[in-house]
Structure 1
Amino acid sequence: MILLQPTYFSPIIQYVAIVKSAKIIFEIEDNFQKQTYRNRCYIYTASGKKSLNIPIQHSKGLKQKTKDIKIDYKDNWQKLHLKTLQTAYSSSPFFEFYIDDLLPIFERKTTFLLDLNLKCHQLIMKALQLEIPISKTTEFNKNPNYLDLRNLALAKNNKSYNLDRYFQVFSANHGFISNLSILDLLFMEGPNTLNYLESQTVKL
């Protein structure tokens, strides 16, 4: 049993933890923090590592719980994210295999960030053909009595995870970039993604 933050097309390390767990508990009672994967993911483009950010509606200096955060649609971030993914991964081996399943994320408006992140998780689990039960927290617990991996959502976490290399579209230009969004691995490895995740022996 592991405790995780629901994040936007989570980093690979989060799914390394997921495939090794019997149950997932998603934290929804914490206060929203900036500089996390809650509303961003990193992909590999021709210019290197790039962040895709979901704009959110900010409260006026008040703390908000993650579950209450609403997405801001003033700018068409969905169109931008989809176009960036298409440009970066259209030549990857499995982009066409998965993109149709992912399109609803970029074509339908979801009010709350939490709901969008849970949809992203469901899509990835479907792609992995993996079923692991999930539940949500009902209160915030600073020191839970099960494996707390909420820190994996920190985008500024400088911890280096020794993930195995796999082929990446632009690796000839910028080398291997570790722990990108799960989308990077999925587009490159396809049905082998689950085997890759299960084979990782990194310490969380």
Structure 2
Amino acid sequence: METQDKQTLLIDLHYLPNLEFFTYLQSFPNIILEANENFIKQTYRNRCYILGANKVEMLTVPVIDGNKKILIKDLKIDYSQRWNIIHWRTISAAYGKSPFFEFYADYFQNILDKKNTFLWDLNFQMLTTCLKLLKVNRTISHTEVYQKEVDSNVFDARTLFNPKKQVIETSFYLPKPYQQNFGNEFVPNLSIIDLLFCRGTQALEILKNSSLN
């Protein structure tokens, strides 16, 4: 992918994004989040992956009327299921004994406890919190309308991320192994919280070493 002379990244907003997502963010000073696309099921928009004791765990945020054509910024979270409590229990079980869990846990638990009405607000708060903990500063805005074609100085990364595809190497992300909590074989491209809880203050350096740009 050609990124030369492009200063702005246009990207969809994910729930607790993976490392590939953050390598994209590292490569551009200006970030535009796509707020006016229709919600797409079975994507990172409402799911993430973490490493549990026995397997990779998928955490999914249930939404209301996800089968209908609803703009991502207008999509409401379904709290008829106690998903936020389940998510936090799963995260705590996976990372409670990790080196940096006690330093970062409250940030994420507090967001889940707020019970945001809209998926957009939940995802945005998670994203900005992760950037804060990584000490990464970016200018972030969001779209006012949906545009299929973008300006020449904008790199369009919308729909590039697919949880059904295994990431081996992309134009932005080269998996860089780090010590994880479980297993002998490194699992690449998990949610950023895996890196934060396991490596803490070294997370940004590892992220930079995982970026091909």
* 1:102-113 alignment runs, 5 A limit: 102-113=108-119
1:182 and 1:44 map into 2 onto residues whose CA distance is 11
- Residue in 2 that maps onto 1:198: 208
Q: Is residue 186 of structure 2 the alignment partner of residue 176 of structure 1?
A: yes
1:102–1:149 CA distance, 2 compared to 1 (3 A): same
Question: Offset at 1:106?
Answer: 1.9
Question: Which residue among 163, 167, 170 is the counterpart of 1:155?
Answer: 163
Provide the residue aligned with 1:64 in structure 2: 70
The separation in 2 between residues aligned to 1:107 and 1:53, in whole angstroms, is 16
The DSSP-based 3-state class of the residue aligned with 1:151 is coil
Q: Which residue of 1 aligns with 2:120?
A: 114
CA distance in 1, matches of 2:63, 2:190: 22
Q: Normalised by the size of structure 2, how large is the TM-score? A: 0.89
- Partner SS state of residue 137, structure 2: coil
Counterparts of 1:131 and 1:125, CA distance in 2? 7
Unpaired stretches in structure 2, ≥5 consecutive residues: 1-7
Kept after mapping to 2: 8 A contact 1:20/1:198: no
TM-score of the two chains, using structure 1 as the length reference? 0.92
Offset at 1:152? 4.1
Kindly provide the CA deviation profile for residues 8-29 of structure 1, in whole angstroms up to 9, marking residues without a partner as x.
Answer: 1001111111122101000011
Q: Where does the alignment leave 5 or more consecutive residues of structure 1 unmatched?
A: none
CA drift at 1:119: 0.4
Aligned length: 200
Q: In structure 2, do the counterparts of structure 1 residues 88 and 16 end up closer, same or farther at CA, with 3 Å as the change threshold?
A: same
- In structure 1, the partner of 2:17 is 10
| Aligned-pair identity (%) | 37
Inter-partner Cα distance in structure 1 for 2:56 and 2:13: 22
Aligned to 1:87: 93
How much does 1:127 deviate? 0.4
**Could you say what secondary structure the match of 1:24 adopts?**
strand
CA RMSD of aligned residues (A): 1.5
1:159 Cα deviation after fit: 4.1
Counterparts in 2 of 1:21-60, with a 5 A limit?
21-58=28-65
1:184 is displaced (CA, Å) by 0.4
Residue 129 of structure 1 is matched in structure 2 by 135
User: Any idea what the Cα deviations from partners look like across 1:118-168, whole Å, max 9, x if unmatched?
Assistant: 000111011012221101111212232311112344222344233110111
Give SS of 1:193's match.
helix
